[in-house]
Amino acid sequence: MPKRNDIHKILIIGAGPIIISQACEFDYSGTQACKALKEEGFEVVLINSNPATIMTDPETADRVYVEPVTPETLCKVIEIERPDAVLPTLGGQTALNTTIDAAKTGIFERYNIELIGASIDAINKAEDRELFRDAMNKIGLRIPKSGFATNMQEVEETARRIGFPIIVRPSFTLGGTGGGVAYNMEELADLAKAGLDASLITQVMLEESVLGWKEFELEVMRDHADNVVIICSIENVDAMGIHTGDSITVAPAQTLSDKEYQALRDASIAIIREIGVDTGGSNVQFAVNPENGDIIVVEMNPRVSRSSALASKATGFPIAKIAAKLAVGYTLDEIPNDITGETMACFEPSIDYCVVKIPRWTFEKFPETDDILTTAMKSVGETMSIGRTFKEALQKGLRSLEIGRAGFGADGKDPAPGSVAGTDLEYKLSTPNSQRIFYIKYAIEHGMPITMIHELTAIDPWFLYQMKQIVDLEKQLKLAGMNLPKDLFEKAKKYGFSDMQLAYLSGGLTDKQIEQKRKALGIVPVYKLVDTCAAEFRAVTPYYYSTYESECEARVANRKKVIILGGGPNRIGQGIEFDYCCVHASFALREEGVESIMVNSNPETVSTDYDTSDKLYFEPLTREDVLHIVEKEKPFGVIVQFGGQTPLNLATDLQKAGVPIIGTSPESIDRAEDRDLFAAMLKKLNLRQPDNGIAYSYGEAVSVARDIGYPVMVRPSFVLGGRAMKIVYDEKDLEEYFDLAVQASPDKPVLIDKFLEEAFELDVDAISDGEDTIIGGMMEHIEEAGIHSGDSACVLPPYSIDEHHIRQMSDAAKAIAKELNVKGLMNIQFGIMNDTVYIIEVNPRASRTIPFVSKAIGVPLAKLATKVMLGKTLKELGVTKEIIPSYYCVKEAVMPFDRFENVDPVLGPEMKSTGEVMGIDKDLGAAVAKSQFAAGQKLPKDGTVFISVQDKDKKAALPVAQRFHDMGFTIMATRGTVTFLEENNIPSTLVKKVSAGRPHVVDAVKNGEIQLILNTGASSQTQRDGYKIRRAAIKYKIPYATTTDGARAISLAIQAMKKEKLTVKPIQDYHKEN
C-alpha cells in the first residue's frame, strides 16, 4: 500500500527539554521523522520547546512552534494549523502524555484529526497497568503479579497470592523510603508495617520479585498490513532491578539459544499486535528467569524510545524514519533499506559485531545523593561502542565515557590491589552503583570466584568470564613489561586495550612510545562497516567502527574533507547543544562541497545518524582513536571547537601530532583559558576582569581574599565545570571551605576571584572571521551573577541594560575576537557592577547558547562559523550586522532535582541542569511564562504564594511581594517575613516554619494550600527549614523560585498571563520580523 493521499498536514509532538530519561534520542528520532515526512511531500508542523534541537531548526519542519509541550499549547496549535493528523509516538513519554491529556478535551474529534502511529486505545492499553495485564494474559503471557494492601491482613492475603520473594513499595512517600525485598512472612510483616507507616495514604504495593532475572529488550516494528519485524535484541548486562537506562547493555543478546530467543520474538510480535500499535516501532522488555527460562513481560513502550535510538545506531536500521513512513501508509516491503541500497526495510538486521552501551552518571554533581542504582533512572547520558568482541567493545565504551578512564582499569586510576576487599567489596558488588563494573574487576583480581561474583551481582557469568579474560590478559601484559611480543601486542589490541593502558602496564613507556612500537610492528586498526546485513549484501552507507583484524573497508575519498569531533556522552554541562553545533558543521561542509566526517560515541544524537555526515566513525574520542582516523582519512582539517570540552581537550595533543586544526588556533584557545595569558591580554586591550589571585595554601588564600575584598568566589584550579566552586562571604566561610572542600597545595592551587555581588551578568555569543566580528546575541541573565550560566535563565535581547554598557560589551567582544584571531565562534561572559563592565570569562569556541541564539535571531551561527573556518569571510557570507529581535526570547534551565533524593534544589556556581527550554513572545512576561510552562512549572493565576527569603534578599523581595499582593494573591509567610511585610504595608498570613511545630508550611503544601513558593537561601543556616520547603515543592510539583530575580521574573510572567491568554506562533513567522 503506498503513501496515503487523504492526509496532507501532519503535526509532530517533540519531547521538550532534555531531562533524565528523555535525552537527545528524541531529537534524533524527531528529526528523522520530520525529514522523512517532508521528503514525502507532507506539510510538517512541529511543537517542541527545546531550542537546542535540530528538529526545531526552521528548515526541519514547515512550521516550528517553539512553545511549551503541554496539552494547552497542543490545542492552540491545532486550532491554528488544523492538521489532518497528529503523530504522537516520536516525542517520548512527554508527547504521549500530552496527547492523552489533549484527547480528553475532545479536540481530535472536534477537528476530525486522526492519530497516526498509535491510537489512544493502544497507548492506554500499554500504559495502564491493569489493561496491560489483561492484554498480556489474553495472549498467554504474564507480567509480575502484584497487588495493593492497606492493612496487615490484606498484606498477608496478597502475599499468599504472589509468593516470595516479594518487593514492598509504599505508595506515595516522601523519598521512596520504607520499601524492600521480603523473603518470608516475618520479613514481610516488618517491611509492610514500616511501609504502611511511611505511606501518606497508608498503602503498600506488593509485587512478585524478579530481581536478579535476566533482562532483555526487543525492538519491534509493525506496518498496517500487519507485517512485523524485530530490529534488534538487547541484553542488559545488569540484571533486573536496575533501570534499563542505568544498565550496561549489549546488542545482540548474548546468552540466549535460538529456542529462547525465538520465544521472546514470538512474544514481542504477539504483544505489538495485541496492544494494537498500528504502525511504527515499539520496545518490549522481558525478564527471563536464569534458572528455568520463565518469561515475564516487564513493559511495552508503544513509541520510539531511548532503546530504539540505540538499536538504530547498533544495527544501522533507522527505526524513527521508517516509523514515520509507516505512519503515512507505506508498508515495510515498500521501503528500501538505505544502508544497502539494494534490499528492503522489511527484514531483520543481522549484525556481525558486538555493541556495548554504558550509561554516564553525574553523581559527583550531587554528593548528597547516594551513588546507588535502582529502578528509577539516574544517568544523564550514554556511550555506545562497537567491537568485534565483547571485550573490545567494553573497553572502547569505558574509555569513551569521559570519566578519565582508559578502559577496563589498567590505567593507574584504580586503588591499590587488595585495598578494596571483604565486606566493602561485597557491598559494592551486591548494591548496584555507577562504579560497579570496576569493583567487578577488583573482585576478579582479588581472586573471588566468578560464581560468587555472579551471586552478588546477578550478572550472567558469561559477561563475568569476558571480564576475567581481560583481567587475565592484563596480568600477562604486565609480566611482559616493556617488551611486548607481537602476538601478545595484537591480542591486547583485539581485547580493546588502549595505548594508554598498555603504557601503564609496560611499567615505564609512554602511550606515544607504545604507539611507535605498535606501528613499527604493523599493528594498526582496520575499519569495518555497519551494514545491517553482516556483509551479505554490498552496503553503500559509510558508517564505520574500528577493530583489529585483517581487512579494512574504509573507502577513503580523494576530495577535500573535514573531520568534526563530536562531544561524546551527554553529561551535565555538556549536552545536546554541542551536538547541534556539530551537526550544523556537517551541514555547512556539505553545502560547501567538502566531505564531512563525523566522529562521536554518543548513540542518542543526530550527529551519529548515518545520513547526517558523508561519513560516520562511531569511535571513542581519545587521542589514539582520533589519530587513527586522521591517519586513514588525511583530512584538510579537523574541527574541535563545536563538540564542547571533549574535543577541546584533545586539541593541543592532536596539533602536536601534526593534525591540522581549523578555525581558531589551539594557542588562542589556550590564551583564553590560561589565567596569566588571559590577564595579560585583557590588560593589553584595556579591559577589566574581576580582581583575582591564586593561593597555594590556606594562609595565602586568606591574604589574597583580604586584598581582593569579600565576597569572593573560590574554586580549585584542577576541576572543570564549576565543581567545588563556592561564594565565600567572610573569613569564617573561607576557613570552612578549606576544611570541607579542598586542600590547596603547590600542585593544586585554589583560584580566588572577586565575586560581583548583585551584578548583572550577560552572555554574549559572537562570530568572527579574524577581521570582522558580528555579535550573534546578547543574553541578560535573569539570576544575578554567581549562578552558573548554564543554570541561569536568560533573555535575548537584554531588557534592563543601559545602551552604553551594551556598546562597551560589543566593542570588547570585537577587540578580543581580533586579538585572539578568532575564526569561528566565541562566547564571553560579562558582569556589570557599579557601572563597570567586567570580563568574567572568554571561550573562543561554540558555547552552550549557540543553538538558542541561532533560534532567536534566525541565523545558523554554527553553520556560518564552519564556513568561516573553511576560509570564507563574513562579508562573503552576507553576515554584516547584528540582529536584535523585536521580540523576547527567554531561555530557562531544566533541573534534575526530582531525580535525586536529599539534594537541595538551589542554584549556585556549579551547573546542575540537564536541559533547557525557550519561550518566545513580544511581551517579556509572556515569554517568561512560556519558558516556565515549558520547563514544567505550572504557574498559577491566583491563589496563595508562600514567601520566605533570607535577610539579605528581603529588600529585593519587597517589590515582588507587592506585585503578588496587587495581583490578588494571598501571601503566606513565616514569622520574620510576615513582620517585614507588615512594616511595608503588605498583608500576609502567618504559617509556622517546619522547626516551629505543626501545622507548618510543609503541611500547607501537602494540603494544597500553596500554589507558588518563593524561597531563597543557599547558606548552610537556612538548610534545614528552607530545604524542607524546597523539597516539598518538588515532591508536590508546586512551581517555585529560589532566587529573588527568579521570583521577579515569575511575577512578571503571571502578570502577563492575567492580562492576556498566551498565544502561539511559529518560529518562521518570528524570524520574518527580523
Partner 1 sequence: MKALLALEDGRTFSCRSFTGPGEARGEVVFNTSMTGYQEILTDPSYYGQMVTMTYPLIGNYGVCPEDVESDRIHVAAFIVKEYQEFPSNFRSKGTLADYLIKSHILGIEDLDTRALTRHIRKSGAMRAMISTTDLDPESLVARAGQIPAMQGSDLVQYVTTRKPYFWKYNQPDYVDAKSLEDPFIWRHKGKKHSVVALDFGIKYNIIRCLENAGCEVLVVPAKTDVQTIKRLNPDGIFLSNGPGDPEPLTYIVETIRELLDNFPIFGICLGMQLLGLAMGGKTMKIKFGHRGGNQPVKNIDTGKVEITSQNHGFAVDLNTLDKSKCHLTHINLNEDSLEGLKNDTIRAFAVQYHPEASPGPHDAAYLFNQFAKVMEHAKA
Q: Give the number of residues in contact with partner 1, rule: CB under 8 A.
A: 54
Is residue 496 at the binding interface for partner 1, with CB under 8 A as the rule?
no
Distance CA 677, CA 684 (A): 11
Is residue 224 at the binding interface for partner 1, with CB under 8 A as the rule?
no
Q: Are 96 and 89 in contact (CB under 8 A)?
A: yes
Q: Which stretch binds partner 1 (CB under 8 A): 548-556, 821-829, 923-931, 939-947?
A: 548-556
831 is in an annotated binding site: no
Count CB neighbours of 193 within 10 A.
Answer: 15
Our CB check for partner 1 shows the closer of 83 and 349 to be 349
Among 15, 159, 167, 229, binds partner 1 (CB under 8 A): 229
756 is in an annotated binding site: yes
SS3 634: coil
Beta-ladder partners of 9: 43
Q: Which stretch binds partner 1 (CB under 8 A): 259-267, 560-568, 636-644, 695-703?
A: 259-267
Is residue 571 at the binding interface for partner 1, with CB under 8 A as the rule?
no
175 is in an annotated binding site: yes
522 is in an annotated binding site: no
841 is in an annotated binding site: yes
- Pattern of binders to partner 1 over 262-291, x per CB under 8 A? x--xx-----------------------xx
Beta-ladder partners of 596: 562
Is residue 485 at the binding interface for partner 1, with CB under 8 A as the rule?
no
Q: Are 1002 and 1025 in contact (CB under 8 A)?
A: no
Our CB check for partner 1 shows the closer of 59 and 342 to be 342
- Pattern of binders to partner 1 over 429-468, x per CB under 8 A? -------------------------------xxx--x---
For residue 44 the three cell numbers come to: 510538517
Our CB check for partner 1 shows the closer of 534 and 996 to be 534
End-to-end CA distance of the chain: 44
706 is in an annotated binding site: no
Our CB check for partner 1 shows the closer of 52 and 354 to be 354
280 is in an annotated binding site: no
Q: Which stretch binds partner 1 (CB under 8 A): 21-29, 76-84, 545-553, 1034-1042?
A: 545-553
Is residue 217 at the binding interface for partner 1, with CB under 8 A as the rule?
no
Q: How far is the CB of 273 from partner 1 (least distance, A)?
A: 13
Distance CA 209, CA 1011 (A): 39
Distance CA 646, CA 843 (A): 14
| DSSP annotation of 1042 | S
For partner 1, the binding residues in 881-900 under the rule CB under 8 A are: none
Among 112, 153, 292, 423, binds partner 1 (CB under 8 A): 292
Among 131, 185, 205, 225, binds partner 1 (CB under 8 A): 225
1031 is in an annotated binding site: no
Our CB check for partner 1 shows the closer of 495 and 888 to be 495
Closest C-alpha among 513, 500, 512 to residue 412: 500
Q: How far is the CB of 628 from partner 1 (least distance, A)?
A: 18
Sign of torsion, CA 945 951 957 958? positive
Q: Are 206 and 168 in contact (CB under 8 A)?
A: yes
Exposed e or buried b per residue across 650-676, where buried means at least 16 C-beta atoms within 10 angstroms of its C-beta:
bbbbbbeeebebbbbbbebbebbeeee
| DSSP annotation of 290 | T
Q: Are 642 and 582 in contact (CB under 8 A)?
A: yes
Is residue 227 at the binding interface for partner 1, with CB under 8 A as the rule?
yes
Q: Are 885 and 1074 in contact (CB under 8 A)?
A: yes
Among 175, 293, 481, 999, binds partner 1 (CB under 8 A): 293
Is residue 255 at the binding interface for partner 1, with CB under 8 A as the rule?
yes
Among 119, 254, 645, 717, binds partner 1 (CB under 8 A): 254
440 is in an annotated binding site: no
Q: Long-range contacts for 187-190 (Cβ within 8 Å, ≥24 apart)?
A: 188/155, 188/159, 188/164, 189/152, 189/155
For residue 804 the three cell numbers come to: 552604553
Q: How far is the CB of 702 from partner 1 (least distance, A)?
A: 60
For residue 694 the three cell numbers come to: 591564586
For partner 1, the binding residues in 366-395 under the rule CB under 8 A are: 388-390
3-state helix, strand, coil in the chain (%, to 5): 40, 20, 40
Distance CA 162, CA 18 (A): 38
Our CB check for partner 1 shows the closer of 314 and 837 to be 314
Q: Are 782 and 760 in contact (CB under 8 A)?
A: no
995 is in an annotated binding site: no
Distance CA 258, CA 643 (A): 42
| DSSP annotation of 969 | P
In which region does residue 769 sit, left (phi positive, over 0), alpha (psi from -120 to 50) or beta (all else)? alpha
Which phi and psi (to 5°) does residue 792 adopt?
-90, 140
Is residue 140 at the binding interface for partner 1, with CB under 8 A as the rule?
no
Q: Are 864 and 877 in contact (CB under 8 A)?
A: yes
For partner 1, the binding residues in 320-359 under the rule CB under 8 A are: 332-333, 342-344, 346-354
Q: How far is the CB of 348 from partner 1 (least distance, A)?
A: 4
754 is in an annotated binding site: yes
Among 111, 133, 145, 261, binds partner 1 (CB under 8 A): 261
Which H or E run includes 767?
strand 760-769
Binding residues for Mg(2+): 285, 299, 301, 829, 841, 843
Could you list the residues known to form a binding site, using ranges: 129, 169, 175-176, 208, 210, 215, 241-243, 285, 299, 301, 715, 754, 756, 761, 786-789, 829, 841, 843
> Which residues form the interface with partner 1 (CB under 8 A)?
225-227, 229-230, 252-262, 265-266, 290-293, 332-333, 342-344, 346-354, 388-390, 460-462, 465, 528, 533-538, 549-551, 553
